[in-house]
């Protein structure tokens, strides 16, 4: 069985800066895979390469064994690869209802439909509402997104990705900047994702990583540094050094 997501020798250079250096990552189907690393290790660059926001300088990316290296971002979404953003990327003038409806419409291939009213699809409306209920957003679903508190926006950010029903979900620091009481809601939702969804979690928060992940890859200076189970990573002196080194700087 082909891994859900694979890269081979992925390189990305910005002028003289090497943001990704020969990254060969294998994410198994249904994995709870975490990608960690100190600030500036190239985690977000890697996510941008995987989702097509950036083109690699060299290397290949396979999704379910199919080459996607040069596909446009929206085509990768259609193939089941979806992401959340470290910094919320939302539609401020739309409501949560409209936001999630957009993702559901695109998933169903209705996005180009202009001769039928959105509201006339009852089953679609029901699904959107049920997703919003799951994320505790039902009571604000008709407010403009810009008026929502940050924690709710963060939940919407994740709801939007999940509404696409991805087979591979990339979560880029889902809990970043979320207040403690809403943090739990996000953790619960992430933990409750169906087991056939492959999750690659990019995270800074070790607590969350060790609670969630069954496999961890450590990225340092754009290259894969160590990989292994949480126990192996926790016991690895080199990883500790990298993080302690960073802690000493900070």
Partner 1 sequence: MKSSAPNQLKGSFETRARWQPLEVLFWVAAFASYYFLPGKHLILTEIAILALFALSLDLILGYAGIVSLGHAAFFGFGAYVAGLLAKHQLVTEPLLALLLAGLAAMLLGFVTSFLVLRGSDLTRIMVTLGVALVLREIANRYAWLTGGADGLQGVSMDPLLGLFRFDMFGRTAHAYTLIVLFVLFLLARRIVNSPFGLSLQAIKGNALRAAAVGVAVNARLVAVYTMAAFYAGIAGALLTQTTAFASLDVFSFERSADLLLVLIIGGTGYLYGGLIGAIVFKLMQDYLSALTPQYWPFWIGLVLVVIVLVGRDRFSSWTLPLRRLAARLDWRAQLPRRSVGGGG
Q: Which chain residues interact with partner 1 by CB under 8 A?
A: 51, 53, 72-74, 77-78, 82-83, 85, 89-95, 97-99, 101-103, 105-107, 110-122, 125-126, 129-130, 133, 138, 141-142, 160, 164
Q: How far apart are CA 148 and CA 168, in angstroms?
A: 28
Smallest distance from the beta carbon of 230 to partner 1, in angstroms? 29
> Which of residues 103 and 201 has its CB atom nearest to partner 1 in the complex?
103
Contacts of 43 (CB under 8 A, 6+ apart): 35, 36, 37, 172, 202, 219
> Which of residues 89 and 214 has its CB atom nearest to partner 1 in the complex?
89
Smallest distance from the beta carbon of 193 to partner 1, in angstroms? 18
> Which of residues 130 and 184 has its CB atom nearest to partner 1 in the complex?
130
Smallest distance from the beta carbon of 52 to partner 1, in angstroms? 8
Helices 180-191, 150-163: axis angle to 10 degrees equals 10
Q: What angle do CA 45, 50, 52 make, to 5 degrees?
A: 90
Q: Phi-psi bin for 20: left (phi > 0), alpha (psi -120 to 50), beta?
A: beta
Q: Is 137 exposed, middle or buried (0-12, 13-18, 19+ CB in 10 A)?
A: buried
Closest CA to 164 of 48, 51, 77: 77
> Which of residues 38 and 52 has its CB atom nearest to partner 1 in the complex?
52
> Which of residues 94 and 223 has its CB atom nearest to partner 1 in the complex?
94
Smallest distance from the beta carbon of 102 to partner 1, in angstroms? 5
Smallest distance from the beta carbon of 48 to partner 1, in angstroms? 10
Q: Which residues pair with 84 in a beta bridge?
A: none
């Amino acid at each position: 069985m082909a891994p859900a997501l694979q890269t081979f020798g992925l390189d990305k250079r910005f002028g003289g800066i090497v943001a990704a250096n020969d990254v060969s990552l294998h994410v198994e189907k249904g994995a709870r895979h975490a990608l960690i690393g100190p600030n500036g290790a190239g985690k977000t660059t890697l996510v941008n390469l995987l989702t097509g926001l950036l083109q690699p300088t060299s290397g290949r990316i396979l999704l379910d064994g199919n080459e996607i290296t040069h596909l446009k971002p929206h085509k990768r979404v259609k193939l089941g690869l979806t992401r959340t953003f470290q910094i919320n990327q939302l539609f401020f003038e739309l409501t949560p209802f409209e936001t999630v409806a957009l993702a559901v419409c695109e998933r169903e291939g209705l996005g180009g439909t202009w001769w039928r009213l959105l509201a006339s699809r009852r089953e679609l409306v029901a699904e959107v509402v049920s997703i919003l209920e799951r994320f505790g957003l039902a009571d604000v679903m008709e407010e403009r997104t810009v008026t929502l508190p940050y924690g709710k926006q963060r939940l919407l950010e994740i709801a939007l990705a999940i509404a696409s029903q991805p087979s591979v979900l990339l979560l880029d620091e889902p809990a970043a900047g979320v207040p403690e009481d809403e943090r739990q809601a996000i953790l619960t939702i992430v933990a409750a994702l169906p087991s056939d969804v492959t999750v690659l979690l990019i995270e800074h928060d070790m607590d969350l990583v060790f609670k969630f992940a069954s496999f961890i890859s450590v990225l340092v200076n754009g290259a894969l540094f160590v990989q292994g189970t949480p126990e192996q990573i926790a016991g690895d002196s080199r990883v500790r050094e990298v993080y302690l080194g960073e802690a000493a700087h900070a």
